[in-house]
Structure 1
Amino acid sequence: MAALLAVPLLPLPAAHADAPATTAATTGGTTGATTAARGGDDGGRDGEGWRGAWATSVQPPGRTLLPNWSQEGFEQQSLRQVVRVSTGGTAVRFKLSNRYGSTPLRVAGAAVGRTAEGAAVREGSSRALAFGKERAVTVPAGGEVFSDALRMRVKPLESLTLTLYLAEPTGPATYHMSALTTSYRAAGDLRFDESGEAFTDTSVSWYYVADVEVRGGPTGRRNGVVTFGDSITDGFASTVDADNRYPDELAERYAREGRPRSVLNHGISGNMVTYGTPGTGESGVDRFKKDVLPEPGVSTVVVLEGINDVGLSELPGSSVPDISVEQLIAAHRDIIRQARAEGLKVIGATLTPFKGAVYFSERGEAKRDALNEWIRTSGAYDRVIDLDRALADPADPDRLVPAYDSGDHLHPSDAGYHAIAEAIDVDSL
């Protein structure tokens, strides 16, 4: 399970030893929110009507729980990836990230089409992407680049297939480990191959793609939602290619009610709010400004994070040091401060039960209870979603309801993720 990755800690400022929420670490050549270069016809983010349709948090390359291609990278290969947008529009653009690359990333070309079955693209739907009106683009080490706007009508909950041709050696790849969506690769330039038959190599991670934004169509007020956290936000243990993560289920609720909304998933499996690791990304405190704050059209953030800090710091032999409840609270307060400084409403979710998980302990349970009580009663968050009580087994409140348990006693099942989305008062967002 992603939450059990006991890997070396990223170097952090000394202040993190006592107050993890005070100073941001620098990683991959970036500090603060990464500034992304844009395509030639889109000079800025504000005031242009762009809003997030899909997102993921990128991570440093590494071999972790799920086999992936991040360390070997790509050369003379086409990389095909599927994303499902939460809201639609009449134009779309993609953000490519090289945040953790040590050298520039050269993309020889890119195309997007409407997803068919597996690696296939619907016949006649493939369109070339441009970057500053050029087919090729170089993404600087530590940087990010937006494509030009592509006039393409996209529906809420529609899946799009992005194909990148990577001719030159990329080196280790910035990626997202637990995509729970199949990605494909094949030799040669197959950007416009719609059959998908040559894409026989598969992975369940995403590479380089970090955001999809749309504009046009009914925009309404600024009302996008970012879900922020660890593997339970990431959807770990949900069915691959089924889009059953709780943010997906939340987007489906909005669409079903006839009011589709931007719902963006910035969860990372194994992530901690107080500390970063090479395998599971920068700490929640440090990545919040890079992953969440640049998202356009967002009004609300839902924060669900801390179970890995609790569990890993109590696991015998773990490289994670003891993390106190005070440190956890300080980290949550820092995220709240960052969100409010940008005018965002910030909603806290209580940590879900984990009795029976490999890293469960009574001492860790006491920390979870204490943090949950602070989330419920401190008034620090604008609103609270009590997922602890929503998913707890009435016969043993420290455990997940059996039907909501994926089997590892930590991550929800598909039914559990659905229950999380149903527990959210959507009007409060």
Structure 2
Amino acid sequence: MKRFAVLLFAAVLGVALAPAASAHPGWAATWAASPHAPTDVFGPSWGTEGFDNHTVRQVVRISSGGPAIRIRLSNAYSAAPLKVTGATVGRAGTGAAVRPESLRHLTFGGSRSVTVRAGGQSVSDVAFLPVQPLERLTVTLYLAGRTGPATGHTFAGATSYRASGDHRADASGDAFGETSTSWYYVNAVEAVDRTPRRDVVVAFGDSITDGAASTVDGDNRYPDELAERLRGRKSVVNAGIGGNRVLNDSSCFGEKATERFARDALAQPDVRTVILLEGINDIGFSNFPIDCALPNPEVTAAELVEGYRDLIRQAHAKGVRIVGATLLPFKGAAYYTERGEAVRDEVNTWIRTSGEFDAVVDFDRATADPADRDALLPLYDSGDHLHPSDAGYRAMAEAVDLSAL
């Protein structure tokens, strides 16, 4: 009877219960976190050791609503299958708590457990939980066995919680005594979308898109602020990875943009527009040696432009619009040099004037100090002269012309 009800509900909504190569029509991305390999380069993390008889509870804020949702899990960076013993989703309460009336057990092909193949992903069946724009959800995974190193997202800017044993159905957060500011395995939340339009906006980039230095649990990243401006009229999902580059891979900062773009941006259900903000790490890393970021050659403006053209071609081949964003000022940052500033200026001029992007958003001019255009406005500077403050991220979102989306 329960399975019949599930099938009937899905038929009424016009959605598929199982993963498909293309999720359109029927589903729209409403939240995402680009997966990458676990790293301890910024200090000890749960990801490098993985989990063993742990429940991991993670809080995310979605951008748009819908009558039902599903959850996507990624095991992209593991050599072994991932056994998820059970999982739940619900509306977030305070801290690790979940509003009890909203708690739903997730199923995968009708089963409460799922094994995600090494290097692969799994999508849950439809979860009958109506959601509203800008609502905070809690996704809880119970991992009964040893997982090994965990695929995740280091710079979550949100608190995740861990408990020993099976607490996936706990409404209370009392058992969750450990915290992290990373996400693990949870790759996306998708909502039922009954409209024929492709409306999803993907913000694609590095740590500035990822929201580094914004207030933890404040949802003040620039894509969050953009979602607040749109209030559910369009979804905005975040495909930023801290330290990411356009032209070079990294074991701690993810594959280069030209490689991960298809998966992290173009494969998002219902994607219509990508905002591309990336390149400052390509410019700066040659003066900021990190072992996991090698090779870190000096990159020219012409080389970055060719990388952008590759991304433009990929987007247009999928019928997706791409908005070019100018690189923010970085004078005073740890890897700033006059040579790097000259490359940034040349790149920004090309973004503004080439006409090769479908539209342009000028984050440089929106965040620069009028007294020194090579530096962030002090109000917009988090303190490291590279990443914006909460006010700076808000100014970035306000600089986006909504009609360009």
| Common topology (TM > 0.5) | yes
Tell me by how many angstroms 1:45 deviates.
3.5
For 2:116, the equivalent position in structure 1 comes to 139
Cα distance in 2 for residues equivalent to 1:39 and 1:99:
23
Tell me the distance in 1 between the aligned counterparts of 2:247 and 2:97. 41
Q: Cα gap change, 1:158/1:316 in structure 2, threshold over 3 Å: closer, same or farther?
A: closer
Instruction: Report the alpha carbon displacement of residue 43 of structure 1 after superposing the two structures with TM.
Output: 4.7
Tell me which protein shows more helix as a share of its residues. 2
Taking the TM superposition and a 5 Å limit, the aligned residue runs for 1:68-83 are 68-83=45-60
Distance 1:73 1:39 in 2: 32
Give the counterpart of 1:275 among 248, 257, 262. Answer: 248
**Please, which of 351, 362, 371 is the counterpart of residue 375 of structure 1?**
351
Question: How has the CA–CA distance of structure 1 residues 42 and 63 changed in structure 2, closer, same or farther, with 3 Å as cutoff?
Answer: closer
Structure-2-length-normalised TM-score: 0.93
Structure 1 contact 39–131 (Cα < 8 Å) conserved: no
Matched-pair identity in %:
56
Cα drift, residue 322 of structure 1: 1.6
Amino acid at match of 2:378: P
Do structure 1's residue 360 and structure 2's residue 336 form an aligned pair?
A: yes
SS state at 1:71 partner: helix
Deviation at 1:42, TM superposition (A): 5.3
Separation (CA, whole Å) in 1 of partners of 2:81 and 2:226 = 37
In the TM superposition, residue 123 of structure 1 has moved relative to its aligned partner by: 2.4
- 1:410-425 paired onto structure 2 within 5 Å: 410-425=386-401
CA contact (8 A) 1:112 1:160 kept: yes
Distance 2:287 2:158 in 1: 32
SS at match of 1:50: strand
Structure 1 residue 305: Cα displacement: 0.2
1:15-54 equivalent positions in 2, closer than 5 A:
41=18, 43=20, 45-54=22-31
Q: CA deviation at 1:169?
A: 0.5
Flag structure 1 segments of 5+ consecutive residues without an equivalent.
1-37
Give the corresponding residue for 2:8. Answer: none
Larger displacement relative to structure 2 (40-49 or 405-414): 40-49
Unaligned runs of 5+ in 2: 1-14
Larger RCO (CA under 8 A, 6+ residues apart): 1
Q: Secondary structure at the match of 1:89?
A: coil
Q: How does 1:214-293 map to 2 (within 5 A)?
A: 214-216=191-193, 219=195, 221-255=197-231, 259-293=232-266
Structure 1 residues 42 and 141: alpha-carbon distance in aligned structure 2, compared to 1, 3 A threshold: closer
SS in 2 for 1:356: coil
Question: What secondary structure sits across from 1:363 in the alignment?
Answer: helix
2:375 maps to what in 1? 399
The 5-angstrom pairing of residues 304-343 of structure 1 reads 304-315=277-288, 319-343=295-319
Give the partner amino acid of 1:244: N
Query: Could you tell me how far 1:271 is from its partner in structure 2?
Result: 0.6
1:33 alignment counterpart: none
1:39 touches 1:145 (CA, 8 Å); kept in 2?
no
Between the aligned partners of 1:214 and 1:220, the Cα distance in structure 2 is 14
User: 1:124 Cα deviation (Å)?
Assistant: 2.5
Would the alpha carbon gap of residues 346 and 216 (structure 1) be closer, same or farther in structure 2, given more than 3 Å must change?
closer
Alpha-carbon deviation of 1:325?
1.5
Whether contact under 8 Å (1:67, 1:203) holds in the other structure is no
Q: CA deviation at 1:47?
A: 4.1
Residue 14 (structure 1) aligns with? none
- Match of residue 66 from structure 2: 89
Quote how far apart the aligned CAs of 1:41 are.
Answer: 4.4
1:209 aligns with 2:182: no
Superposition RMSD in Å = 1.6
Find the partner of 2:361 among 354, 376, 385.
385
Secondary structure of the structure 1 residue equivalent to 2:47: coil
